[in-house]
Amino acid sequence: MASGFEPKPLDAWTPVCRPDAPDREPWSPFDANRPVHPSFGPPVTIHVLGAGVAGLTTALRLVEAGREVVVHEAAPTLGQTAASWLAGGMLAPYCEAATADPSIVEPGLAGIEFWAGVTSVKRAGTLVLAAARDSGDLRQFAARTQGHETVDAGTIEALEPDLAGRFRQGLFYRGEAHLDPRRALAAMASHLTQSGGTIRFGEAADSGDFAGEVVVDCRGLAATSPELRGVRGEMVLLRSREVRLSRPVRLLHPRWPIYVVPREEGVFMVGATMIESDRAGAISLRSAVELLSAAFALHPAFAEAEVIETGAACRPAFPDNLPRVTREGRVVTFTGLFRHGFLLSPSCSAKAAAMAQDALETA
């Protein structure tokens, strides 16, 4: 550990970066000089497998608690094969509860505070819209969710001037927020290494590789867990000079329910498909057409946008679509974040880190 590092108890977790800290510092991949295996005595290092949002939030909590942490990431660079890299970055517990267990709301709201200490978080809420002919869908969505207010055309225009005159009714979830997932991952990786942790890229690992040592398996869909399945999500990044949005906008469309999340410099993430499949590979033509059509339905000016990136990844999910943090001896497994990696990692990582510390102390 870096000298002068003050371990903090997990329940006294404070954000690892100042809210105003720059989160695009030059990114140093890893400190190759740190030892991976102790040469003798009881284990001191906790090995975290996977540098997605689950692995990095857990590793950060462990470093903050004064533990020696090595993250082993199979990909050669941050995010290259992580579902986390393709996420929308919506911190939308109320909206997500429309189709998920309501137990996600409370930890999801707490997660917004966690992220505000790590990276730039925009607390501008979420706007949910539907065309007039789909007003029934809007009523259903409202009935299934909390934390919203009904908005008319005037309020929609006040919130998002570029959508003026396009929608007559919507729902506004004032308490929701969003972030840029790539900046969040980079900020965590940077802070982790600056705080004495290590990330080893290009190092595929399995819990069996560290006999007698404590491991936290955060390999997403690759984690060892029998009931885990993949739910493929495809996305498109657009750049538009014509459209400006301040917050994520969800469009309730009978065939293509999508969301558009604004990023910096005119970039918009359009997502995401939900396909029961663990197939990797590029986005399909059909999904691209559907996502782009829905973006066009939200605002025709997206027709002139540049398509700057497309991507697909498999969300790790259990049958109930809720994450699990489990321990078997010295191996803690944290996966199953489904659609809620950024939303729920703050709370789940606290549990994973606590379990790993218990495992270390009883090893």
Binding site for ligand FAD (CB under 6 A): 49-55, 72-75, 81-84, 86-90, 204-205, 218-220, 222, 233, 235, 271-272, 313, 315-316, 335, 337-343
- Look at residues 336, 332, 308, 312 and name the one whose alpha carbon lies nearest to residue 322: 336
Kind and range of the H or E element at 177? strand 177-179
For ligand FAD, the closer CB: 232 or 330: 232
For ligand FAD, the closer CB: 169 or 173: 173
How far is residue 68 from each of residues 37, 163, 199, measured CA to CA in Å? 11, 50, 12
d(CA 56, CA 218): 9
d(CA 66, CA 5): 7
Q: Which residue is nearest to ligand FAD (CB)?
A: 52
Token digits for 82? 């992580």
Phi then psi dihedrals of residue 349, to 5 deg: -65, -30
Q: Smallest distance, Å, CB 133 to ligand FAD?
A: 27
Q: Smallest distance, Å, CB 200 to ligand FAD?
A: 9
For ligand FAD, the closer CB: 131 or 197: 197
Q: Smallest distance, Å, CB 303 to ligand FAD?
A: 22
d(CA 10, CA 121): 22
- Burial environment of residue 211 by CB neighbours within 10 A (0 to 12, 13 to 18, 19 or more): exposed
For ligand FAD, the closer CB: 229 or 339: 339
For ligand FAD, the closer CB: 67 or 340: 340
d(CA 255, CA 297): 12
CA angle centred on 99, ends 94 and 103, rounded to 5°: 55
Q: Smallest distance, Å, CB 82 to ligand FAD?
A: 3
For ligand FAD, the closer CB: 73 or 160: 73
CB 149 within 8 A of CB 131: no
The b/e string for 144-154 (b: 16+ C-beta within 10 A; e otherwise) is ebebbeebeee
**String of DSSP letters for 311-353:** EEEEEEE-TTS--EEEEETTEEEEE--TT-HHHHHHHHHHHHH
Q: Smallest distance, Å, CB 174 to ligand FAD?
A: 18
Q: Smallest distance, Å, CB 322 to ligand FAD?
A: 11
Q: Smallest distance, Å, CB 85 to ligand FAD?
A: 7
For ligand FAD, the closer CB: 13 or 115: 115
Q: Smallest distance, Å, CB 27 to ligand FAD?
A: 15
**String of DSSP letters for 50-61:** --SHHHHHHHHH
For ligand FAD, the closer CB: 28 or 150: 28
For ligand FAD, the closer CB: 189 or 360: 189
d(CA 123, CA 179): 9
Name 127's Cβ contacts closer than 8 Å, sequence gap at least 6. 151, 156, 159, 160, 170, 171, 172, 173, 247, 248, 249, 250
Q: Smallest distance, Å, CB 102 to ligand FAD?
A: 16
